[in-house]
Amino acid sequence: MNHSARHAQAAAFGRRAAGFAAACALLGLALARGAAAESVALVAERLIDGRAATAREAAVVLVEGERIRAVGDRTLIPPGARVIELPGATLMPGMINAHEHPLMYTDDYQNAHLKSSSAYKALMGLAGLQRHLLAGWTAIRVVGDADVAYANQDLRRVIDAGIFLGPRLTGAGHYLSITGGGGDVNYLSPEQHVIADGLIADGPEEIRKAIRREVKYGSDWIKLLVTGAFQSVGDNPRNVAFSPEELRVAVEEAARLGVPVAAHAHAAEGIKQAVRAGVRSIEHGTYIDDEAIRMMAKRGTFLVPTVYVGDYYAEGDRLLAQDKQDDYVKNDRSRFLAAIGRAHEAGVKIAVGVDLGGYGIDPALFTGEFAVLVEAGLTPMQAIQAGTRVGAELLQWDDRLGTIEAGKLADLIAVAGNPLEDMRALQQVSFVMIGGVIAKRPGDPTARSGLALIPDRP
């Protein structure tokens, strides 16, 4: 184990937690003394840096503390550096999942959110996030989740404080939805009164208040359900939910508080209204048309298509709203893939979002989204960039993440073989480093046992 690198991350995270002040002082001293000697050189058969159009052969990445110091060949390796050989592997930036709900811990999300406390969801969410990390995902944007409270914001706090190891988190605690919209997760009769885990807000005043509440409790994105959804009961993905006035107010209020907006939108008209209002990203975009593509390319709006989740759920009766899902896969999937290809051609920035939830599903499957983007017309290299560099830009973390370049945070993974030749290589993650801390390496018992990843403390 590279204790100094681990301590470096713990120290960086600990700065935000007053309780760790004493530990940080100790760690800071250790880091200052050991910095020059504690270089880690990662040696791999090839490197995908997230920016270049081709891979680099026989690459070396030199890491010092939490950051990448240099990228080159073996001549970079300083005397005394710790060398980690990754033969046959491809080094690449940690994958970024720009659309996720870590607290949805089973396929049965219409019911599960009613059965479990926020604390239970947080514990299952932590386990799911650590599995995510070990599968190579080093940053996740949460786009609202199945919890009345703010468990994701608590998960982010314990990860940022270095108490648990996990992917970097950003995002929204809840999705804002109109009454009867895709976030009004309540399929019961009108006599029953459940507290929906979406934030139900109708009209400008309720929307302003909901956004203020989200930001107060730690959301650094606002998620709007601009149209109906596929996996909810009683609403229609082809309908626009919020009015243009409500959308304008939502984006204005979020901007006033310095927070970007992610818009769930399937219907083309909903996409256009959201883009006009000024959202940063369109989630899904299933019925996108050429006018919406032109608008998004012109304004730089990101598209996060989340296609693979539909493929996953097409294979069985897993959902209360299974008929909607089946209808989409039968009638709309191929048209949607063609539209994603045209959007990419037109210059729309496309990011990888998985949308498969937290604990219940093997995270190796999450890389199915990369293969779908290739099916839609991106090259394998462009698909990998969608899940690394472009994702970082969407998250506004491109100054520190998303590429393997000197000065960036050392969020790196190694996959067996060459993903440019076979995308299934992305399922074979043998090495994971986050902020210079090794979370997984070949033969590491932590990775095999699934034990909670707790950083070392002095």
Instruction: Name the residues that contact Zn ion, by CB under 5 A.
Output: 355
User: Is 281 or 430 the residue whose CB approaches Zn ion more closely?
Assistant: 281
Sheet holding 39-47, edge to edge: 67-72, 56-64, 39-47, 82-93, 412-416, 429-434, 437-440
User: Is 355 or 375 the residue whose CB approaches Zn ion more closely?
Assistant: 355
User: Is 45 or 355 the residue whose CB approaches Zn ion more closely?
Assistant: 355
Q: In Å, what is the CA distance from 404 to each residue of 197, 307, 431?
A: 38, 27, 15
DSSP 55: P
User: Is 214 or 355 the residue whose CB approaches Zn ion more closely?
Assistant: 355
- Residue 151 CB, nearest approach to Zn ion (Å): 16
Instruction: Round to whole Å and give the CA distance between 179 and 196.
Output: 10
- How many C-beta atoms lie closer than 10 Å to residue 429's C-beta? 25
- Residue 103 CB, nearest approach to Zn ion (Å): 12
What residue ranges in 234-284 does DSSP mark as E strands? 261-265, 281-284
Instruction: Round to whole Å and give the CA distance between 256 and 341.
Output: 34
User: Is 324 or 408 the residue whose CB approaches Zn ion more closely?
Assistant: 324
Q: Which long-range contacts (CB under 8 A, 24 or more apart) does 293-298 make?
A: 293/339, 293/342, 293/343, 293/346, 293/348, 294/346, 296/271, 296/343, 296/348, 297/343, 297/346, 297/347, 297/348
What residue ranges in 1-75 does DSSP mark as E strands? 39-47, 56-64, 67-72
User: Is 23 or 329 the residue whose CB approaches Zn ion more closely?
Assistant: 329
Instruction: Round to whole Å and give the CA distance between 44 and 266.
Output: 41
- Residue 265 CB, nearest approach to Zn ion (Å): 12
Q: Which residue's CB atom is positioned nearest to Zn ion?
A: 355
- Residue 224 CB, nearest approach to Zn ion (Å): 12
- Residue 318 CB, nearest approach to Zn ion (Å): 15
Cβ atoms of 294 and 346 within 8 Å: the answer is: yes
DSSP states of 105-124: -SS-HHHHHHHS-HHHHHHH
Task: Work out whether strand 412-416 and strand 429-434 pair parallel, antiparallel, or are unpaired.
Answer: antiparallel
- Residue 120 CB, nearest approach to Zn ion (Å): 21
User: Is 93 or 363 the residue whose CB approaches Zn ion more closely?
Assistant: 363
- Residue 223 CB, nearest approach to Zn ion (Å): 9
User: Is 49 or 355 the residue whose CB approaches Zn ion more closely?
Assistant: 355
User: Is 355 or 393 the residue whose CB approaches Zn ion more closely?
Assistant: 355
Instruction: Round to whole Å and give the CA distance between 121 and 262.
Output: 23
- Residue 179 CB, nearest approach to Zn ion (Å): 20
Instruction: Round to whole Å and give the CA distance between 66 and 452.
Output: 21
Buried b / exposed e over 46-59, threshold 16 CB at 10 Å, is bbbbbeeeebbeeb
Cβ atoms of 40 and 62 within 8 Å: the answer is: yes
User: Is 90 or 232 the residue whose CB approaches Zn ion more closely?
Assistant: 232
- Residue 264 CB, nearest approach to Zn ion (Å): 7
Q: Which residues is 140 bridged to in the sheet?
A: 97, 169
- Residue 312 CB, nearest approach to Zn ion (Å): 13
